[in-house]
Amino acid sequence: MPVEEAPVTSASEEWQASACILCENNCGITVKVEGRRFAKIRGDKAHPASAGYTCNKALRLDHYQNGGARITAPLRREHDGTYTEISWDVAITEIADRLRAVRDTHGGESIFFYGGGGQGNHLGGAYSGALLRAVGGRYRSNALAQEKLGEAWVDAHLTGGHTHGDFEHAQVSVFVGKNPWQSHGVPRARTVLQNIAKDPARTMIVLDPVRTETADLADIHLQIKPGTDAWCLAAILGEIVQQDLIDHEFLTAHTTEAEPVLAALRAVDVDAYAHLSGVDPASVRRAAQLIGTAESVSTYEDLGVQQSPNSTLVSYLNKLTWLLTGNFAARGTMQMHSWLAPLINYSLKTKTTPVTAAPMLGGIVPCNVIAEEILTDHPKRFRAMIVESSNPAHSLADSQRFRAAFDSLELSVVIDVAMTETARRAHYVLPAASQFEKWEATFFNLEFPVNTFQLRAPLLEPLPGTLAEPEIYARIIRELGVASPLSLSVLRGALRLGRKAYGLTFLALLKLDRKAAGLAPYLLYETLGPTLPGGARAAAVLWALAQGVARRHPQSMRRAGHADPEALFTAMLSERSGVHITVDELDGGSWTYVPEDNRPIPLSITPLLESLRGLDRMEWAHTSGEYPFVLSAGERRAFTANTIFRDDSWRRRDATGALRISPADAERLGLADGGRALITTNRGSATATVELNDRMQDGHISLPNGFGLDLPGSDQRTGVAPNDLTDLRRRDQFSATPWHKHVPARVEPVPHT
């Protein structure tokens, strides 16, 4: 249920606007601060997207700000493995010298960057690119590379960009491997789900092997066998095509290359694929009928399928359900949207990684090849790594393999608020200010027809000894001496004549000097940044992003009330609860965001059509006699969050992160509720508390995300670190995204001692 707002008992000015940082929705909150504590937190009614809504997790954010042990001085690892506190000047000088040495000896391409954000920590990432270019780096990655690369590649082929469902108005809502009740993703998720469930004229369809809280509300729950999503979706599409429920008018007017797709789906054996996926063919046919005849359909796929077998094919099939039925760019259907800063490159020109030649879909290195790009004698291997606001030693598949790779680097630098599992292995650890101690923002701006942005002001002074990431990057770039003093001088002089003169000079400089273009965020930080009110120096990059919105979407920007990019930039700086950046027409407005090369939409993606045609010959089961269970590693639950919470005390339920298993499986194995079980995969073993849970089907088990941290002052982990059990070789054939949700495993009781 949505959290009830706390009553206001003090003057309104004591409540400061900010946002939750725990998922992509970044709901607006207001916070009452007492000392350095968040004494009270509530939803922000003035926030233009969330309008006062928040879930229970946002109310625990004091456990992020004050719950864990912070780093308050730069640390250098000595030869014996211990860490020594050093000054910022020494840290910056030594890191710059060692980056130069790696660059000059092996080339800048051997310097690799990972992270650049977190759920609501994106301003630093905007400046990290300038540092990477300053040392000649080309390669980077982040959490999206183990989640969204396959979907992004499919989007690039089809609509040319990201789409999001209009679930507020959809007659039929379809969730594929997605449980918005817990993982959100849909603005005001629980309210929207309840509204759908209460309306007899609307329908909810869920494809999920688990009977989730969202499935409880659904009209149709297709409780498939784990890993059979592709067969179930192919069966639905086969029924839609074979019963001629497609939108011929839409296909003729707005698409090309439909016939190869339709031919492949005509050949699908609907009953056989339904049976293979473990669901009643009648339910599949009913779902297809509802999707094919609805006035509007919106769908949402997420990690449940994007981190399972055939994930890229599943993304393609999911998108075909709404494209073949004409559910695009109209009320209640799938919509494209504006971007303030795109998080993925939607180009089809795909580069490859230097050692394994893995395709870099979305322009980023797949997470599951990072260790392979390091643990080799290849001359182009990664030799230095900068990690910012991320914890790959815990979050990437096959933690043992990644840790070995990280330990072999010539230089490793971690920028974070805490001594994470990754930081504990780095050569240098640089302490960052927390997300509530600096100017910060998120670029998860995914709404349509009204897209929003919030620049968050600091609620607290930075903890002494810490710096914001943009300042850390700026100091290293200064020490490297790669920026032209003349360029900085010219820009500062132009700024004295006003922003218009500054803008013209800035654009001219970027055209004349390719090197300056690569350092653009740094140049903004050093010249425009110091003039911004309230110390909002890190917001300087937003000036350039506002120019981009005005160039790409001028009419949409003006509909949002901004006459020009300067007006938009000023509004972003001044509106504490957030601001509309674009406003569009709900019916038809999305077409303005479809690139010309994708109009009409080309439906045929040859390698994925080949996979679709080969489903009847493809192995769907990946378990064995040795590993008979499918483990979903990293389930979202009511009291789990990504490892940004380095404090176990915030949880009111499931404090140890239980292994969920069906009652029948537990009885067969001799497991008792609250007992202990040993989970074993081909990569490792771990013990967990057992929870008998009838939401799980037989043969399927799950462990939550956010557990298994090595916290200071504790000799024992709480819960299981899921990626001690996963295998980096189990990954999608197209995108290399990991099978975190499909890990063959064995479960045994742990004897009482």
pLDDT band at 8 (very low <50, low <70, confident <90, very high): very low
Quick one: average pLDDT of 534-552?
97
CB 386 within 8 A of CB 114: yes
How many other CB atoms are there within 10 angstroms of residue 172's CB atom?
Answer: 28
What is the rounded CA–CA span in Å between residue 59 and residue 54? 8
What is the rounded CA–CA span in Å between residue 631 and residue 679? 9
Distance of CA 431 to the CA centre of its chain: 23
At residue 10, the pLDDT reads 37
Q: What residues contact 644, with CB distance under 8 A and at least 6 apart?
A: 21, 22, 64, 118, 119
Q: Percent of the chain scored above 90 by pLDDT? A: 93
Q: What residues contact 693, with CB distance under 8 A and at least 6 apart?
A: 660, 661, 662, 663
* pLDDT tens for each residue of 455-489: 999 999 999 999 999 999 999 999 999 999 999 99
Asked if residue 7 has pLDDT above 50, the reply is no
What is the rounded CA–CA span in Å between residue 575 and residue 457? 10
How many other CB atoms are there within 10 angstroms of residue 81's CB atom?
Answer: 8
CB 150 within 8 A of CB 361: yes
pLDDT band at 753 (very low <50, low <70, confident <90, very high): low
**Domains recognised in the chain with CATH numbers:** 12-65 (3.30.200.210), 75-141+344-442+450-483+519-583 (3.40.50.740), 154-339+599-613 (3.40.228.10), 622-749 (2.40.40.20)
Question: SS in 3 state form for 132-196?
Answer: HHHCCCCEEECHHHHCCHHHHHHHHHCCCCCEEECCCCCCEEEEECCCHHHHCCCCCHHHHHHHH
Quick one: average pLDDT of 191-208?
98
CA distances for 348 relative to 83, 363, 604, 727, angstroms: 45, 9, 14, 28
At residue 471, the pLDDT reads 98
* pLDDT tens for each residue of 279-319: 999 999 999 999 999 999 999 999 999 999 999 999 999 99
Tokens linked to 454? 């919030």
Distance of CA 51 to the CA centre of its chain: 23
How many C-alpha atoms does 716 have within 13 Å on its Cβ side? 6
The pLDDT mean for the chain works out to: 95
What is the rounded CA–CA span in Å between residue 37 and residue 83? 29
Quick one: average pLDDT of 391-396?
97
At residue 13, the pLDDT reads 58
* pLDDT tens for each residue of 326-385: 999 999 999 999 999 998 999 998 899 999 999 999 999 999 999 999 999 999 999 999
Q: What residues contact 419, with CB distance under 8 A and at least 6 apart?
A: 69, 71, 429, 712
Residue type, 494: A
Residues facing residue 359 across a β-bridge: 352
* pLDDT tens for each residue of 658-691: 999 999 999 999 999 999 999 999 999 999 999 9
pLDDT band at 175 (very low <50, low <70, confident <90, very high): very high
Q: What residues contact 483, with CB distance under 8 A and at least 6 apart?
A: 134, 477, 516, 519, 522, 523, 526
At residue 263, the pLDDT reads 98
How many other CB atoms are there within 10 angstroms of residue 201's CB atom?
Answer: 6
